[in-house]
Structure 1
Amino acid sequence: MLTETQQQSLVERIRDIGHPEAVRRFFGLLKELIDIVNLPNGDARLAFSVRREKSAISADINFYQALRIQKPRRGEVEYHLTVKKTCRDRLAAVEELVFEPITEKSDYVAVVIGQSNVHLLYQPTLRTCWEDCLLELVESNKRGPHLARHNRDIYEAAENEARLSDLVRLADDPTLGQNNGAQSLNGHAVEEPAAGYETTPTLPAQPHNLILFGPPGTGKTFALQPYLRDKNASLITFHPSYSYEEFVEGIRPEVIGNQISYRVRKGIFYKACLSAIQQAGYATLADCLNDQSDNRSRRLRQAPAHYLLIDEVNRANVASVFGDLITLLETDKRLGAEHELWLTLPYSQERFGVPMNLYVVGTMNTTDRSIALLDLALRRRFAFREVMPDPSVLGTVDEVDLLQLLRTMNERIEYLLDRDHQIGHAYLTNLETHADLCEAFRNRIIPLLQEYFFNDWAKIQLVLGDNPAWGKEPEQRLVWIKKKYTASTAGKLFGELPESYEDVVTYDINPHLQAGDYEQVPVDAFRHIYQRPNA
């Protein structure tokens, strides 16, 4: 059973730190540390302690400091995360980070982060360095015991959000524990003071779940760029082998020394939800879920938005990747909404919900045949916005009207195939010279047409105006007729007529275009795609 002395010393340190939000964020990190090292409360290798001389709360692993929070020395609360010295070079690009030696000869250093730069606690490279360091410290041969100074109350507060809330409230109001000692909090209904939130909603006026769809080259991925201009966005590209374990959470084996250990790894969707609730001032999802529903709704609706951007969303098996979270994506079932829902994750057994201020924006290429994997459940929960080619953004290159050229080719493609297989305007943007135009057709447009029409060169000729009836001169064509096989020529080729004989025509790409000899490719090869010769 926890002693009142242990609790009192922890409460005093929380009071010294004087920043409840920072304390909650620290205990969120402490919970992650517990999950990573996978050691029980009281294990000889683990010590969670309070340090009166530094007004700090610390986590040590095998006598090595691993994590610490302490009251302001430079005017603000500080977090200390231990990493290997070799990580300093990897983190050099993050200028705001401060490094402090732990001991003179130690192989480890503390990364010091002030409350004003608290977002750096979730910087991907730093988190990787810290997590790798924790696993190494567990395997260190410099063992405890730490039992003489291990404060079990800190461990329990990291594992139990309700217990942590009690301790924070007691630190804020010491009178709560005066009558009945350590257990008095359990009988009190303590109201958290309301924060001074603005009354005007700040969430953007767009669907919570949005998919931009259309042919390739229409600017769908480019449309994601504005979301990436600030730090409130996460980007992922789906692929056919992407899974729920990578997206939300899963167990992954790791080799430390000669031993294999298994730990729960959080995926980008979980981290995006965590980032979103941190915008509302919560340290962890558990803190958000433990808050009163009215207060949670108000805070999430007033918080800045966080965006999860998914490029090529239909390339993965979306139903498998999202799993049972597909229901939580609905706007009215998100945390902070009227009919909010949450569930228990299968691996970590944590409660989980999707916050109101998280926006999911995906892109989808309509020419990809995996579009069939988007089932009705997904379509019902996402808004779809078509992004089609916009020829109006194109100008003129070497007397070739790119607007008319693209419009004509797409009209022909839509007739021969469908509207989903058009060519996007991005294929013809930023072209300045005749050589640029030749490059675009040789390297991008003609290969795309080959894919669209499965090497049916007669149809490719129709799209490019290279069919004989259009009237181009032979040297003006981008796709040439290589040879026509009649009964006579086929007989000479094989010595006899094949059993399934029929007239065959073979094709070739303009050899000057293919060889990069662009000066020999006339301008009329492109102008006469949309303008019939002698018209």
Structure 2
Amino acid sequence: MLTDTPQQPLIERIRDIDHPEAIRRFFGLLKELIDIVNLPNGDARLAFTVRQEKTSIIANINFFQALRIQKPRRGEVEYHLTIKKSCYDRLKNIEEWVFEPLTEKSDYLAVIIGQSSVHLLANPTLHTCWEDCLLELVESNKRGPHSARHNADVYRAAEDDAFQSEVIRLADDPTLGDRILNGYNVEEPEGEYTTEPELPNQPHNLILFGPPGTGKTFALQPYLRGKNARPGLASLITFHPSYSYEEFVEGIRPEVMNGQITYKINKGIFYKACLSAIQKAGYGTLADCLHDSPENRSQKLKKAPPHYLLIDEVNRANVASVFGDLITLLETDKRLGAENELWLTLPYSRESFGVPLNLFVIATMNTTDRSIALLDIALRRRFSFREMLPDPTMLSTIDGVDLAQLLRTINERIEYLLDRDHQIGHAYLTNIETHADLCTAFRDRIIPLLQEYFFNEWPKIQLVLGDNPAWGKEPDHRLVWVKKKYTAGAASKLFGEMPDSIDEVITYEINPNLQQGEFEQIPAEAFIKIYQKV
């Protein structure tokens, strides 16, 4: 059974316009429009439409045309930006653009710019007039002649670069036919068709934790670029120490417009991920979802496809502060559509808000940054944890060096001297194909990591690498050398007098041949003898 979707008319209009550069520029303008009006996808005041008879894509605010791209039957691609009539005198001196009233009695004009004059889109006066007009249209209670249906994929193409690239690519595919259906359509027998997707067999809230290089971030890739991944399937964010609730959910951001400071409520990635999830259940907005009956809401959200929020380096931020009062809503039985569903009122917009049942939160956590034991107890109770440890079986033998045994030995020594959270992941030694690659990995990645782990404790680094004298390596084969031993006499000679400290001082350095890239001077035995005692 073939099913029509909003993507098909969007892709067909992009194909009709037949100018990828112009399409990308239009979506860039549309992204500016979305940021200026600060309205979510599905808001009743927005109507993003595609029109076959006009070969155009249009953004409407309160049913007034605000932005348009069009390819006339004859001539070049055109951009239409709506301004107030009062701006006409400020713009009339430029001959390359044309003015056209939206309607006979309208208070607004469309400034029409052809593709050959596309540089005029950067005109600061035009941009200011367009911005002022957009803000006025948002507040307008008037209704113009437009009544077409909103196409949510136009909004998504402006916000999601990956989705935008995909629809432009599909528009350029001459074999497209009827294959499009939120990615691709397939023809199935009538009796085997089902509307209920198979939900992921995993916790709603999951943290993948482990030492660096164990493939935690790589485990997120199937949701973004796997063979079954589709545009809009997942949202990705990387936390950092200054990340806040205002960036994650919603907050007020100051902006300067026409020399005046204005304040807008901006939605964060968590809010947008929740919105994407409920839109997959057929709702336009969170308000639509909350106003539905509990029975309908539960049925729709349980049948809806999943949406994933992927959080890399979750423990680098103050997680309790970032999630704030939403931490309770993450629980599976408290989500919208669940048995004990809850929602709350957001502090800035005063909107009602809940976390839908088809949203899955998957995060990664580097245990060298912070132990699980130090995480907020409320977060630990609401998330499932899955440890990802180094996997030596993924490594091979290079130039006689058994990389798997090398990694096991190094990690056993690190675990003894520090703890298991500071082991080295197999990713540090994957993609090693030559002796030079191995030398480069130790010089640029592994030894600097050990320096961070054992700050100023070079004897411990030597123990990890088998460079301590008792292990039996030839001095020239050691990766970390003793640079100099200072006895009392040597110290007096260096300073002219005896320093306060009379202890013997030893300084260290990395093997100069390794440091300077003279890898042919570093024999394979330097690595073999890390795990194999003489």
The TM-score with structure 1 as length reference comes to: 0.69
Q: Answer with 1 or 2: which has the greater Rg.
A: 1
Partner of 1:441: 442
Per-residue CA distance 1:18-41 (angstroms, 9 max, x = gap) = x9xx9xxxxxxxxx99996599xx
Per-residue CA distance 1:397-454 (angstroms, 9 max, x = gap) = 1111100100000000000000000000000000111110000000000000000011
Per-residue CA distance 1:83-124 (angstroms, 9 max, x = gap) = 778x99xxxxxxxxx9764795444689xxxxxxxxxxxxxx
Partner of 1:207: 203
Partner of 1:28: none
1:505 positional shift: 1.1
- For 1:238 and 1:253, the matched residues in 2 are separated by 22
**Runs of at least 5 residues in structure 2 that lack an aligned partner in the other structure:** 1-5, 10-31, 71-76, 83-97, 100-109, 115-121, 151-192
1:218 aligns with 2:214: yes
Count of residues paired in the alignment? 405
Partner of 2:398: 397
1:205 positional shift: 0.8
1:141 positional shift: 12
- For 1:373 and 1:84, the matched residues in 2 are separated by 50
Per-residue CA distance 1:238-291 (angstroms, 9 max, x = gap) = 001001110000011111121111111000000000000011110000011011
Partner of 2:142: 150
- For 2:203 and 2:128, the matched residues in 1 are separated by 41
Equivalent residue letter for 2:216:
K
- For 2:480 and 2:33, the matched residues in 1 are separated by 63
1:80 aligns with 2:97: no
1:203 positional shift: 1.6
**Which piece of structure 1 moves more, 364-373 or 202-211?**
364-373
Partner of 2:389: 388
Query: Taking structure 1 as reference, are residues 38 and 439 closer, same or farther at Cα in structure 2, changes over 3 Å only?
Result: closer
Query: Taking structure 1 as reference, are residues 101 and 496 closer, same or farther at Cα in structure 2, changes over 3 Å only?
Result: closer
- For 1:150 and 1:222, the matched residues in 2 are separated by 51
- For 1:83 and 1:496, the matched residues in 2 are separated by 81
- For 2:135 and 2:458, the matched residues in 1 are separated by 72
Cα pair 2:66 2:81 within 8 Å, conserved:
no
SS at match of 2:330: coil
SS at match of 1:327: helix
SS at match of 1:385: strand
- For 1:439 and 1:257, the matched residues in 2 are separated by 54
Query: Taking structure 1 as reference, are residues 223 and 143 closer, same or farther at Cα in structure 2, changes over 3 Å only?
Result: closer
Partner of 2:270: 269
Cα pair 1:318 1:373 within 8 Å, conserved:
no
Matches within 5 A, 1:318-467: 318-369=319-370, 374-467=375-468
Partner of 2:289: 288
- For 1:515 and 1:329, the matched residues in 2 are separated by 52
Equivalent residue letter for 2:132:
E
SS at match of 1:139: helix
Q: 4+ runs of 1 displaced by more than 3 Å?
A: 32-39, 67-85, 98-110, 133-138, 140-144, 197-201, 369-373
SS at match of 1:423: coil
1:137 aligns with 2:130: yes
Per-residue CA distance 1:435-491 (angstroms, 9 max, x = gap) = 100000000000000000112100000000000000000111000111111222222
1:136 positional shift: 5.2
1:74 positional shift: 6.1
Cα pair 2:298 2:338 within 8 Å, conserved:
yes
Equivalent residue letter for 1:285:
L
- For 1:35 and 1:389, the matched residues in 2 are separated by 43
Partner of 2:244: 243
- For 1:393 and 1:367, the matched residues in 2 are separated by 22
Equivalent residue letter for 2:456:
N
Partner of 1:519: 520
1:496 positional shift: 3.1
Per-residue CA distance 1:173-223 (angstroms, 9 max, x = gap) = xxxxxxxxxxxxxxxxxxxxxxxx957562211000000000000000000
**Runs of at least 5 residues in structure 1 that lack an aligned partner in the other structure:** 1-18, 23-31, 40-56, 60-66, 89-97, 111-128, 159-196
- For 1:351 and 1:516, the matched residues in 2 are separated by 60
Query: Taking structure 1 as reference, are residues 391 and 69 closer, same or farther at Cα in structure 2, changes over 3 Å only?
Result: closer
- For 2:461 and 2:253, the matched residues in 1 are separated by 48
SS at match of 1:462: helix
- For 1:292 and 1:76, the matched residues in 2 are separated by 40
- For 2:491 and 2:55, the matched residues in 1 are separated by 87
Cα pair 2:343 2:354 within 8 Å, conserved:
yes
1:501 aligns with 2:480: no
Identity of aligned residues (%): 68
Per-residue CA distance 1:327-357 (angstroms, 9 max, x = gap) = 0000000000000000011111110000000
1:494 positional shift: 2.5
Query: Taking structure 1 as reference, are residues 58 and 411 closer, same or farther at Cα in structure 2, changes over 3 Å only?
Result: closer
Per-residue CA distance 1:349-375 (angstroms, 9 max, x = gap) = 110000000000000000004866521
Equivalent residue letter for 2:210:
G
- For 2:529 and 2:135, the matched residues in 1 are separated by 79
Partner of 1:174: none
Cα pair 1:461 1:479 within 8 Å, conserved:
yes
Partner of 1:29: none
Partner of 2:254: 253
1:530 positional shift: 0.6
**Which piece of structure 1 moves more, 498-507 or 431-440?**
498-507
